[in-house]
Structure formats: C-alpha cells, structure tokens
Structure 1
C-alpha cells in the first residue's frame, strides 16, 4: 500500500478492486498524529503534488480522510494548496451558492432526491477537469456521493451495445434543455438562465453560451439551450483507455419524468431506451458509495469518473464543492 510523506493509503469495505489490482477510489489518511494544524496538510499537498496527481491519473478519485479540515474556509485553503486553476460555474445548471472563495454548495435540489450519474458539465464544451467535494456536515444516514469509473462503464456498454456505442463515438450527443426565468431548487437542473449565465442581459447570456458551444432560443418563460454535438466518449491521455463522458442517463430519467432536459445522437437519431436501462443497471453495479465522514475531502478526475447523489435518509447533510479547469 502506498505511503509517502504524511500520506498513508488505507482500505475501506466499500472500495472496489479490479482484476488489474486497481483499488477504487484511493483512500489516504495521515500516518502521523501531527495533523491538528491544517498547514501540515497544505504543505504536504504542495510537496507531494506530482505524486498525488499521478495517483489521481491512475485511480480517478482520491478520498482524503482524517486531515482535520473543519470548515469551508479550511476546504478552500486545501483546494488552493493543489494549485489547480478555478473554473467559473458559467453555464452550469445546478442551483449553487458561493460559500467562501472558490467554494460553492453542491447541488441544492431537495436532498431526499437522487441525482443520476454524470460528468460535471459534460453538456457544455467548457467543463472542469477536476472536482473537489468536502463534507462539512456528516449525514445521519444516506446522502452518499457515489462514484463510478468511466472506462469500466465504457467497456461494459461497448460489450452490451456495440452498435450504439459506435454511433456515440462517431456522432456524439446533442443536448437540449429549457431553462426558466426563475430559479427552481426543487429540481437538480433548476437554475434560471440568469444564474446559469450569471447575467440579466440576454445578449451577454448569448455570448457566454456561444463560448460553450450552445445556441439560445428565447421562449415565453425562459430559453431553450441547444448544445452539440459534443463528444460522449473521452480518450484518456495517460492510459489510452476510452471513458464514458456524458449526461445521457440524466436526460433519459428527465424525459421519463416529463422534465425539460433532452438528448439525442449528434446525427439526430434518438437514444435507445434499452441501452439507457442497461446503462443505469451497470452504473448501480459498478459504483462505489462511501458514507461521508465530517472533514472528508474527495478529489475526482471529471474526465475519468462520474458522480451522483444518493437520497438523504437522515439529516443533516452539507457537502460543498469546488471546480477546477
């Protein structure tokens, strides 16, 4: 097991171990008692950043547990210690609130609702490469943030639906989403166009949408956003493995519930229901859901790992996030 500086790899029962020996996600805890000072953690991150990045490239997700991160401000300092550039949440559709510095609330939709697996902002051409999550208040029960390896999902979908996956690789995906004039925190993609594009000026919204590969069509109660075609599969530079990278199942569930979020293949053909049902099943089989502990920091490679949210059974729960270019 990996050990370096103050970092020591530990095992949790929820982790998955694959045939190649890869354990997902990697969990790191302090191998010293000298972690009561947050500066020790921050300086260790700076000193071991190349090693930590190599682990992230290999594993897809790193969970830091037991490092005395006690507040949103502490979390912001941890994010800053990694030195990754910030990605502004322009074009994002989840209702979020800035807490401090680079730290935002995670999706503010009702916590008892499931959020389907997705890659953050895969419905735009300007998405984060990395995500941080922080557990500020530990859930009483439920409310996990399950994660899933995109290369594993790609391999299984390719085996089950080779024709559909080939079409995805060839044509990509086009997303259509109708955004209201008002924020709606009762749904996971409920940001208004004002919040999505951080402006009250329609012309500015159009300019910002264009930079993300989107076209806006103004309608009576909001705007229809058409984006794509965008890649639905990504090639991992280091491993040369292909990875599932899209929001197809989010759109599929939305369509079933008569919401205003849709997707189709880039050539205009519909996405087959049976492929999406199998995709949802594989996601549940392959995901890892580690219960949050207060102070946990989770770092995710957004191009390699999908995430979601399980329903909160027993409050409280407060999970914060930061996005990186």
Structure 2
C-alpha cells in the first residue's frame, strides 16, 4: 500500500474543493517506518505511480515534503522515477539554464519581479502536461510559487464576464513578442531567439517556429514572433471541465522589457485589444483563489499543467528553484 511509505498530511494554507479534495495534496514520509532515503523514495514512486497519478488527477498538484532530496541530481532521480517523457523547452519565454539531466533553473528574472499566473507554455501548441519544481535553496523571504485551479478561474470569469469569455472562446488569442539574439536575464521574458528555438541558424529557427504555427518577422538580429490565434479556453478531457488555459494575464501585465510593450503582447484572435479592467480583475480573481505555500528546502511540487496555473512572488535572495517539464 502507498500509505505504508507516504503519509498524506495537512498544512496551513491548503484549500478544500469539491468532494473534499485538498489543494494541493501534501505527502510526507510515513513516520512509523524506517527513515527514508533517496533510493527508497524513488522505488516507492515507481511502485505506486498509478496511486500518485490518481492523487494528482484529483487534486491538481502534489507537494512532496520532508524527503531526503537535497541536490539537483537527487531531484533529477525523482523526476526520472515518475517515468514521464521529457518535453524540451522550445518556444518558452523564460531565461533558464540547464543544470543536470532533465533539470534546469526556473525563471531567472530578477528577484524583485513578480511573474504573473500562467499555464506553462500556454502560448504555444505543444506544452507540458506536468511540471516539477524543486526547492534547492530556500528563499531568504517570500518567493512563493502560488498555484490556482484553472477551472475555478474559468467559472468565476464566466459568471462575472460572460460576454468577454464568449469572445475568448470564439476568437482565441494572439501573442506577440520581440526576441533579441541572446538571452536577457534582466527580463522575465528575456529568452533570446537562439535559446527559444535551440539553434543559431535563422533558417532552422524559421522551421521550428513554423512547426509551432508561429510566424517570424526579422528586423536585423531581433525577431518578432506572432503566435495564434490559439484557444484561450480548453476542455480538460480527463476531468470533463473547461479550463482557463492561456497566458493572457501574464502577457498583458508582465511581458515588459526594452523590446516589449505588454499591452500589445496579447490581443483577441481577431486582433482587437483586450479590455484592461477585465484583465486586471482576472488577476485579482486568480490571486484570491490561489494557494501560496512558503518553500522549504527539499520540497518538490508536481503540478498538472492542464489543471493548475502557477506564478512567482518577488523574493529576497537567496532562492534557487529548479524545474523539469514532462510531456
């Protein structure tokens, strides 16, 4: 039984949703068993993967806390134990660095910057179904990774702004971003086109963009990427509910740097501008419904990218969160 190794615990700030599911679910080692070590943990994950997947399906996110995971390499072993296929980070916006195996740094933008709620890579057609985050270095203070259930955001927005949501469902969204040649770590969307398309060759970048359905407009060494129209609302088929699957709020309030104006970064799929008041109210709804659990060293967050949006609060260094994306 998985309960012989894992104990489901409750911690402050969790929320309870339909049918009494806790969000997120939190697992710790069973205190009545021998102290856990890394190989026992990876063995238990492999042995109880169907149970863990069922828990993730019910809750949307699982926090593993109190296990002996201390290094990036340990974290990579845990990700591997789950057995999900790796998703390469092609088309994403965040500046990141590869660390070991399937592990890279989470967004490396400056600590004073908030990263708004988004589904990972919602602005491109091929996005991860699951994300792992790992706290290698606990934040000096703040720096939580708040999460919110996507279908709750959809339901609240549909109730409050039915016509706006109808337009979103009908037209989708277009995302526009200007990329420099190299990465700009001072920007939350500072990934350059070489890193974005994993090439130094403009013609290869063109091919990879075309596969994503993305249009490129070159101006010297910089390029404007135009993505869409793509859907802003999706059906989560496994749970049979509609979800708020987009990067609208993140783009409109956060895609700002020397090259980019966030208000122009996202429009309705017919090219018409989005209403600022509704976008900012959506951000408020996301904040109100979210859960922000302070990171502890060794924490691993497994997030269902279809069910849950995530964000990042500003922080006082140090803080090092690592990530891994899965198909």
**Secondary structure of 1:152's match?**
helix
Matched, 1:170 2:170: yes
The match for 2:208 is: 208
With normalisation by structure 2, the TM-score equals: 0.95
The match for 1:319 is: 321
Check the 8 A contact 2:189/2:255 in 1, yes or no. Answer: no
Cα offset, 1:126, TM superposition: 1.0
Q: Which structure 1 segments of 5+ residues have no match?
A: none
- Using the alignment, how far apart are the partners of 1:321 and 1:173 within structure 2? 27
- Using the alignment, how far apart are the partners of 1:255 and 1:291 within structure 2? 25
The match for 2:186 is: 186
The match for 2:4 is: 5
**Secondary structure of 2:126's match?**
coil
The match for 1:273 is: 276
Would you identify which runs of 4 or more consecutive aligned residues in structure 1 move more than 4 Å? 255-258
Check the 8 A contact 2:168/2:232 in 1, yes or no. Answer: yes
Matches within 5 A, 1:194-273: 194-254=194-254, 259-261=260-262, 262-273=265-276
Aligned positions, number? 323
The match for 1:92 is: 92
The match for 1:26 is: 25
- Using the alignment, how far apart are the partners of 2:3 and 2:299 within structure 1? 19
- Using the alignment, how far apart are the partners of 1:45 and 1:317 within structure 2? 27
Q: Deviations over 1:118-154 (max 9, x none)?
A: 0101111111110000000111210111111000000
**Secondary structure of 1:4's match?**
helix
Cα offset, 1:85, TM superposition: 0.3
Cα offset, 1:170, TM superposition: 1.6
Cα offset, 1:269, TM superposition: 2.0
Bigger drift between 257-266 and 163-172 goes to 257-266
Check the 8 A contact 2:147/2:290 in 1, yes or no. Answer: yes
Matches within 5 A, 1:54-69: 54-69=54-69
Matched, 1:118 2:121: no
Q: Which structure 2 segments of 5+ residues have no match?
A: none
Check the 8 A contact 1:124/1:212 in 2, yes or no. Answer: yes
Cα offset, 1:172, TM superposition: 1.1
**Secondary structure of 1:319's match?**
strand
The match for 1:146 is: 146
Cα separation, partners in 2 of 1:35 and 1:123, compared to 1, 3 Å = farther
Cα offset, 1:268, TM superposition: 1.9
- Using the alignment, how far apart are the partners of 1:202 and 1:34 within structure 2? 56
Cα separation, partners in 2 of 1:70 and 1:239, compared to 1, 3 Å = same
Q: Deviations over 1:177-233 (max 9, x none)?
A: 111123111111101101111111000001111111111110134000011111111
- Using the alignment, how far apart are the partners of 1:55 and 1:255 within structure 2? 34
Check the 8 A contact 1:46/1:82 in 2, yes or no. Answer: yes
- Using the alignment, how far apart are the partners of 2:185 and 2:244 within structure 1? 28
The match for 2:74 is: 74
**Secondary structure of 1:210's match?**
helix
- Using the alignment, how far apart are the partners of 2:227 and 2:210 within structure 1? 9
**Secondary structure of 2:20's match?**
coil
- Using the alignment, how far apart are the partners of 1:48 and 1:7 within structure 2? 10
Check the 8 A contact 1:35/1:68 in 2, yes or no. Answer: no
**Secondary structure of 2:58's match?**
helix
